[in-house]
Amino acid sequence: MEKEKENFEKDFLSFLNEGGLVWGPSPEIYGGLAGFYVYGPVGKLLKNKVENSIRRVFNIHGFRELECPMVVPDIVWKASGHLDTFKDRVIKCSKCNSVFRADKLIQEKYDVPADGFSDEKLLDFIKEKKIKCPTCDGALEGKINSQSLKMKTTVAGQDAALRPETATVTYLSYPRTYNYFKKKLPFGVFQIGKAFRNEISPRQHVLRGREFTQAEGQIFVDPQEKNNWQKYDEIKNESLPFWDYKSQESESAVKSISVAEALKKGFIKSQAYGWCIWLAYTHFKSLGIPAEKIRLRQHHPDEKAFYADDAWDIEIKLNLYGWFEVCGVHDRTDYDLKQHSKFSGKDLVAERENGEKFVPHIL
């Protein structure tokens, strides 16, 4: 079975190369640098179609597109929390010294949310399942280390980094976007652009690159209006494949229930957040991905990012790599604007009709 998978992967990658879709790792004539790829003529056309589909969906729903810098000073990453926490846990091969992201080694073979595991649980699982080094089949060391994912640089002597995501840079223009939208909430903005991560051991081709294009939409909303969402009634009866974290713990099946039922059961906390999940899910379906190969997986409390009040991933079952995250939908509350207000010294607030000031939440 493993041999058949290897042959299928080899044939598929050959198709990508010969068909002019994706070439690399690049630069190939110099031996290539893992995690960097060239989109050939056909691949670039396909990529453009996906990006334009995303633009169309966001524009239809009133989002407006921004383009923000890719290089940002470290003070921003200190404020956002990335400077101190944006790390992956790694494990080393005792034979060939290759280094791998520990949770991904597990998830490539088993359908478990290993990124929520403690270091001890990661090691226990690797030992129990006798997971070996994918490079040389050697034994893995019995300890977990961490590695920063940021790509560092300096600009005019100032420490900076290439952005590891498009979300944070979107928030930095909040005073401008707030004024542009006539100081009326909710409003939505989005970006489609490059992000950079110093991935530990890029494998699975473009699925885990060190340079990649990310599309991300952000809604700025009054927290008092999250359960008074105008668009909610249009979608509340739509059924989505929810898989909450408690069902994952008990290994229960994915439940296809309505957004309204998910809100009633406490799977999600607000109408506005449910609408965001629906929007992302329906867009992946519109790309032609079969419904039975899409699920919504809730992050375990131990797995959630430090800024998230709630987090659900859209995962797609791939023929080669099993279930794979393609999108994350987060309720970030007021964390980001409060942090950037604190570090910049600028008030990042909105005002209600009664004159009351507040910090918007971000979905």
DSSP 275-341: HHHHHHHHHHHHTT--GGGEEEEEPPTTTS-TT-SEEEEEEEEETTTEEEEEEEEEE-TTHHHHHHH
DSSP 108-134: TTS-S-GGGS-HHHHHHHHHHTT---T
Tell me which residue of 344, 268, 261 sits closest to 308, measured CA to CA: 268
Tens-digit pLDDT profile for residues 257-276 = 999 999 999 999 999 999 99
Burial class (CB in 10 A: 0-12, 13-18, 19+), 217: buried
Mean pLDDT of 21-39: 96
Residue 111's pLDDT band (cuts 50, 70, 90)? confident
> What are the φ and ψ backbone dihedral angles of 219, each rounded to 5 degrees?
-110, 125
Mean pLDDT of 92-99: 87
Percentage of the chain surpassing pLDDT 90?
Answer: 68
- Determine which of 58-62, 245-249, 279-283 has the lowest per-residue pLDDT on average: 245-249
What is the Cα–Cα distance from 33 to 56, expressed in whole angstroms? 34
Tens-digit pLDDT profile for residues 316-358 = 999 888 899 999 999 999 999 999 999 999 999 999 999 999 9
Provide the total of helices (H) and of strands (E) in the chain, helices listed first: 13, 19
Mean pLDDT of 233-244: 97
Mean pLDDT of 266-293: 96
What is the Cα–Cα distance from 314 to 327, expressed in whole angstroms? 5
Residue 1's pLDDT band (cuts 50, 70, 90)? low
Tell me which residue of 146, 170, 177, 167 sits closest to 307, measured CA to CA: 167
Q: Which of 5-19, 183-197, 293-307 has the highest mean pLDDT?
A: 183-197
User: What pLDDT score does 114 carry?
Assistant: 80
Mean pLDDT of 165-170: 94
User: What pLDDT score does 5 carry?
Assistant: 77
Q: Is pLDDT above 80 for 54? A: yes
Tens-digit pLDDT profile for residues 70-88 = 999 999 999 998 877 777 7
Bridge partners (DSSP) listed for residue 160: 73, 153
Residue 306's pLDDT band (cuts 50, 70, 90)? confident
Cα 363 to the chain's mean position, in Å? Answer: 13
Higher pLDDT, 304 or 31: 31
- CATH numbers and ranges of domains, the chain: 17-82+149-221+335-362 (3.30.930.10), 87-148 (3.30.40.230), 223-331 (no CATH)
Cis peptide leading into residue 27 (ω within 30°): yes
What is the Cα–Cα distance from 168 to 17, expressed in whole angstroms? 34
User: What pLDDT score does 146 carry?
Assistant: 81
Q: Is pLDDT above 90 for 120? A: no
- Determine which of 136-150, 204-218, 346-360 has the lowest per-residue pLDDT on average: 136-150
What is the Cα–Cα distance from 179 to 18, expressed in whole angstroms? 49
Q: How far is CA 103 from CA 159, 165, 180, in A?
A: 30, 20, 42
Mean pLDDT of the chain: 92
User: What pLDDT score does 75 carry?
Assistant: 95
| pTM of the predicted model as reported, rounded to 2 decimal places | 0.86
Higher pLDDT, 349 or 303: 349
Percentage of the chain surpassing pLDDT 70?
Answer: 99
Mean pLDDT of 17-41: 96
CB atoms within 10 A of CB 27: 12
